[in-house]
Amino acid sequence: MTSIDDSRIPGVQDPAVQIHAEAETPRGYGSMKRKEDARFVRGRGRYVDDVVLPGMLHGAVLRSPLAHARITAVDTSAAEAHPKVHAVITGETLAGLGLAWMPTLSNDTQAVLATDKVRFQGQEVAFVVADDKYAARDALDLIDVQYEPLDPVIDARRALEAGTPVVRDDKDGQADNHIFDWESGDSAATDRVFAEAEAAPDQRVVTADILYPRVHPAPLETCGAIADMDPVTGKLTLWTTTQAPHAHRTLYALVAGLPEHKIRVVSPDIGGGFGNKVGIYPGYVCAIVASIVTGKPVKWMEDRSENLMSTSFARDYHMRGEVAVTDEGTIRAVRVDVLADHGAFNATAQPTKFPAGFFGVFTGSYDLEAAHCAVTGVYTNKASGGVAYACSFRITEAVYLVERMVDVVAHDLGMDPAELRMRNLLRPDQFPYRSATGWEYDSGDYPHTLQVALEKAGYEALRAEQADRRRRHEAGERVRLMGIGLSFFTEAVGAGPRRSMDILGLGMADGADLRVHPTGKAVLGISAQSQGQGHETTFAQIVAQELGISPDDVEVVHGDTDLTPFGLGTYGSRSTPVSGAATAVVARKVRERARIVAATMLEVAPEDLEWHDGRWQVAGDPEASRSMAEIAMAAHSNLELPEGVEGHLDATCVYNPPNLTYPCGAYVCVVDVDPGTGAVDVRRFVAVDDCGVRINPMIVEGQIHGGLADGVGMALMQGIAFDLDGNCLGGSMMDYLLPTSLECPSWELGETVTPSPHHPIGAKGIGESATVGSPPAIVNAVIDALAPYGVRHADMPLTPAAVWCAAQGRPLRTDLAIT
Ligand code: MCN
Ligand code: CUM
């Protein structure tokens, strides 16, 4: 038997942490403080790295220093002789178990530990297990790997050229670096509109090449796992940083052949995810194998550089956008060609399938006659991607592309970008709207949302101030240039409808189970996995709203596959759209059961009762009513219920969403740019989001704040470049810069509310909206500021150097460091 260190469990020694500090207990929706913060702000959260098991050993991963090399020999004898080392696992060890390669989310294969070649700098080569993590790290230096260096493939734009080395020569029939071709939309219809636009005297085609650079989500806690295979019971307990505990359990069962009921995945507090913790990493598999081999629990936690260099990155899309538009500014069609750099192993969420090819929403928020996009994926000698940082390989790049293109069109037409957007936005009467690429947007009032943002920003006055600054600049005064940038985005979140989506054969429905105890307190089990989004609070609020009890009386259980119902976890802002819907539905089931119990108690027919103010009440007789606590006690008593009605107040449900939810938002960013140094100051940022009904407005705003900061990071600071030898230039936080409060303005938020018509409580997801919507607004603002220099486009990250070069008419290539 193993046990965890009890003193670290909040509440065990400090009952105060269980007490919620609200003066007045709220019921249902509203900005109540987060329940989980009682432990987080006291430093009493329990993260994966806090888990300590008796007799636990520690693992460390040996990584490749080279981006591309053949492995000719691996000598582990000196490491094995280290007095504190228990085992050294290599690719050969794993090959003996059939585990040297594992499947990825895209049904590609990925090396767990390299056998034939290393394919990116930082790739996993061997795993050492020792008494402590220091000894494990020391022993890595004792492993002798012989490499025969090969030319690396670093420039994605050249990956398909003849004569380029083949990254994946391990795959049968793979003679080049091509992974897939994926397309969406009607190519013939789109080409027709473009031909017309080219021929017509009062229409035109606007084109731009746009890069969304490689970035990394960089969560606070890096990835890791503690594997504990009990040799007596044969049960594997895996404590791990996962956003999808149930999916991981099933995958371990399918891939490693372990019986699923003998696997328990526990994901306690995890320090952020941002998509970084969706995939299964080699280190997890190594920890499991190491626990089986040594018969002891084995912990593996990566360090910051390992996280930045080897775990799922995001973006790396080279995009060509074309827009067919009339001279008056009516956008007719969009055509997109994308080269997607997926690194050495294709690990992104199935890009060939709708809607994992979420890039299909590149038509944005506009009413188009036609649209077509083609994406080609290529292998390079870089770390593989994943489901990372507000869902790469989907909306994030698509929104950036279309919102950047709209500004390029405005530039070329000499039109105001707000006016151009207003002219082309979908109208409220067009919903539900079927896009040119087949997506059904559920609801929205886009012109209103944009209007609210423009008014909040004081758009007219900003433009007047800008004109004045430009005059002074032109008169030779040394002033900072002012830029105003807009974006309007439509998100598509809540994966997803069963008929259109599955990952490795699993559907996308989520379960929820709710038990109401005799005293009216409730426990909700969900499959969503909070990484900091406040689920323990908001999901309790949903139950509270439906049952008329306090959120403080609802305990939310998640992150343990032995205790919670199956579901695919938290990513793609799907928790509220899917698990949240399941929670509302299961609570309504309980409420209906409570109605029968209350009717029996009040000796009336269930139809005579009305749900009023959180109680079941006899119609027209407010005196005759019962609360959920009274009903719960009766449901567990000897009360004689009608024939066929079960006692107690428990229910389960599985929610299979009929559609995604489509939140939207209008953002306005104001920047000041110093043309002498290229330094950018984000002066103001107005964000008006519509995520339907808000359960906890404070948490929603927190989510938006975080996403806006992400946007500042991506637009101005982040971006992982490589040199031509394949050295990753973003491997530490000295090189990969995260935004702080110093780079961020005081956010100005606003809202519009268009409920989702198909979601039980009308809510749409919000977790990624601001990360998706803010980069184009910031970049548009910087480019707008540089208008006096004739700049039409420059790629992120708009570092001072990139801005300065753009102003000099020599835009930087930001994905490669060419020296
Ligand atoms: N919410 C609400 N009302 C709404 C919508 C949401 O009150 N109409 C609340 C929810 O109940 C939840 C939070 O806002 O408490 C976020 O909900 P949702 O939009 O459903 O997103 P998820 O919970 O599924 O979170 C995933 C999303 C993703 S995919 C990334 S990436 C990201 C993000 O959340 N990672 C985060 N926000 C993050 N925030 C933190 N602190 N840490 C991360 O790793
Ligand atoms: Cu795609 S980043 Mo979030 O979905 O976990």
Spacing, Cα 771 to ligand 1 middle (Å) = 12
**Tell me: the pLDDT tens digits for 506-533?**
667 899 999 999 999 999 999 999 999 9
| Residue 243 Ramachandran class (φ > 0 left, ψ -120 to 50 alpha, else beta) | alpha
Probe ligand 2: pick from 267, 350, 358, 387, max atoms within 8 Å of CB?
387
Say how far apart CA 283 and CA 62 lie, in whole Å.
10
Say how far apart CA 351 and CA 163 lie, in whole Å.
27
Structure confidence at residue 356 (pLDDT): 42
Q: How many CB atoms lie within 10 A of CB 375?
A: 24
Structure confidence at residue 506 (pLDDT): 62
On whether the CB atoms of residues 779 and 803 are closer than 8 A, the answer is no
In degrees and rounded to multiples of 5, residue 89 shows phi and psi of -110, 135
- Does the pLDDT value for residue 115 go beyond 70? yes
On whether the CB atoms of residues 264 and 332 are closer than 8 A, the answer is no
Pairing of strands 722-723, 609-612: unpaired
Largest CA distance in the chain: 89
In degrees and rounded to multiples of 5, residue 744 shows phi and psi of -105, 140
Q: What is the mean pLDDT of residues 705-730?
A: 96
- Does the pLDDT value for residue 387 go beyond 90? no
- Does the pLDDT value for residue 419 go beyond 50? yes
Structure confidence at residue 161 (pLDDT): 98
Spacing, Cα 572 to ligand 1 middle (Å) = 9
For tokens 């038509």, the residue is 363
Nearest CA to 763 out of 634, 586, 574, 563 is that of 574
Structure confidence at residue 544 (pLDDT): 98
Structure tokens at 393: 């390989």
Cis omega (within 30 of 0) for bond into 776? no
Spacing, Cα 767 to ligand 1 middle (Å) = 4
Nearest ligand to residue 394 Cα: 2
- Give SS3 for 371: strand
- Does the pLDDT value for residue 15 go beyond 60? no
Ligand 2 pocket, residues with Cβ under 6 angstroms? 243, 273-275, 278, 387-391, 571-572, 768
Structure confidence at residue 255 (pLDDT): 86
Beta bridge partners of 684: 670
- Does the pLDDT value for residue 10 go beyond 50? no
CATH 3.90.1170.50 fits 48-150+222-270+277-310, yes or no: yes
Residue nearest to atom 1 of ligand 2 (CA): 391
On whether the CB atoms of residues 145 and 73 are closer than 8 A, the answer is yes
Question: Residue type at 47?
Answer: Y
Nearest CA to 323 out of 391, 405, 227 is that of 405
Say how far apart CA 552 and CA 27 lie, in whole Å.
9
pLDDT interval class at 164 (50, 70, 90): very high
CATH 3.30.70.270 fits 314-495+660-808, yes or no: no
DSSP 8-state code for residue 300: E
Q: Quote the Cα angle for 399-686-406, to 5°.
A: 35
Q: What is the mean pLDDT of residues 647-664?
A: 95
**Tell me: the pLDDT tens digits for 136-147?**
999 999 999 999
Cis omega (within 30 of 0) for bond into 757? no
Percent pLDDT > 70 in the chain is: 94
**Tell me: the pLDDT tens digits for 472-511?**
999 999 999 999 999 999 999 987 655 445 555 666 789 9
Nearest CA to 275 out of 656, 571, 72, 599 is that of 571
Structure tokens at 564: 């919670």
What does pLDDT average to over the chain? 93
- What does each C-alpha distance from 101 to 114, 146, 312, 476, 556 come to in angstroms? 9, 21, 17, 63, 37
Structure confidence at residue 220 (pLDDT): 95
DSSP 8-state code for residue 780: H
Question: Do 314-495+660-808 and 48-150+222-270+277-310 have the same topology in CATH?
Answer: no
Pairing of strands 522-526, 554-557: parallel
Structure confidence at residue 352 (pLDDT): 52
Cis omega (within 30 of 0) for bond into 797? yes
Q: What is the mean pLDDT of residues 344-351?
A: 81
Beta bridge partners of 90: 126
Question: Residue type at 423?
Answer: R
Return the CATH fold of 7-45+509-655. Answer: Aldehyde Oxidoreductase; domain 4 (3.30.365)
Percent pLDDT > 90 in the chain is: 88
Domain ranges of the chain: 7-45+509-655, 48-150+222-270+277-310, 314-495+660-808
Say how far apart CA 296 and CA 208 lie, in whole Å.
57
Structure confidence at residue 392 (pLDDT): 64
Nearest ligand to residue 706 Cα: 1
Ligand 1 pocket, residues with Cβ under 6 angstroms? 219, 272-275, 390, 531-535, 538, 570-576, 580, 691-696, 699-700, 703, 706, 763-768
Structure confidence at residue 351 (pLDDT): 53
Probe ligand 2: pick from 768, 769, 771, 772, max atoms within 8 Å of CB?
768
In order, the DSSP letters of 388-426 are -TTTTTTHHHHHHHHHHHHHHHHHHHT--HHHHHHHHBP
**Chain CA centroid to CA 433, Å:** 25
Structure confidence at residue 589 (pLDDT): 98
Question: End-to-end alpha-carbon separation of the chain, Å?
Answer: 57
**Tell me: the pLDDT tens digits for 274-296?**
999 999 999 999 999 999 999 99
Probe ligand 2: pick from 274, 508, 568, max atoms within 8 Å of CB?
274
Say how far apart CA 322 and CA 194 lie, in whole Å.
9
Structure confidence at residue 386 (pLDDT): 81
pTM: 0.95
pLDDT interval class at 393 (50, 70, 90): low
Nearest CA to 145 out of 67, 70, 58 is that of 70
Say how far apart CA 505 and CA 487 lie, in whole Å.
36
**Tell me: the pLDDT tens digits for 354-371?**
444 678 889 999 999 999
Q: Which atom of ligand 1 is nearest to the CA of 219?
A: 44
Q: What is the mean pLDDT of residues 68-85?
A: 98
Q: Which atom of ligand 1 is nearest to the CA of 577?
A: 20
- Does the pLDDT value for residue 24 go beyond 90? no
Q: Is the dihedral of CA 74, 80, 85, 88 positive or negative?
A: positive
Structure confidence at residue 105 (pLDDT): 83
Structure confidence at residue 285 (pLDDT): 97
Structure confidence at residue 385 (pLDDT): 86
**Tell me: the pLDDT tens digits for 182-193?**
899 999 999 999
Say how far apart CA 9 and CA 13 lie, in whole Å.
8
Structure confidence at residue 818 (pLDDT): 73
- What does each C-alpha distance from 427 to 126, 157, 430 come to in angstroms? 57, 39, 6
- Does the pLDDT value for residue 799 go beyond 60? yes
Q: What is the mean pLDDT of residues 143-170?
A: 98
Say how far apart CA 489 and CA 707 lie, in whole Å.
14
Cβ neighbours of residue 499 closer than 8 Å, sequence gap 6 or more? none
**Tell me: the pLDDT tens digits for 760-791?**
999 999 999 999 999 999 999 999 999 999 99
Q: Where are the alpha helices (DSSP H) in 155-264?
A: 187-199, 245-256
Nearest CA to 579 out of 655, 482, 639, 491 is that of 655
**Tell me: the pLDDT tens digits for 194-237?**
999 999 999 999 999 999 999 999 999 999 999 999 999 999 99
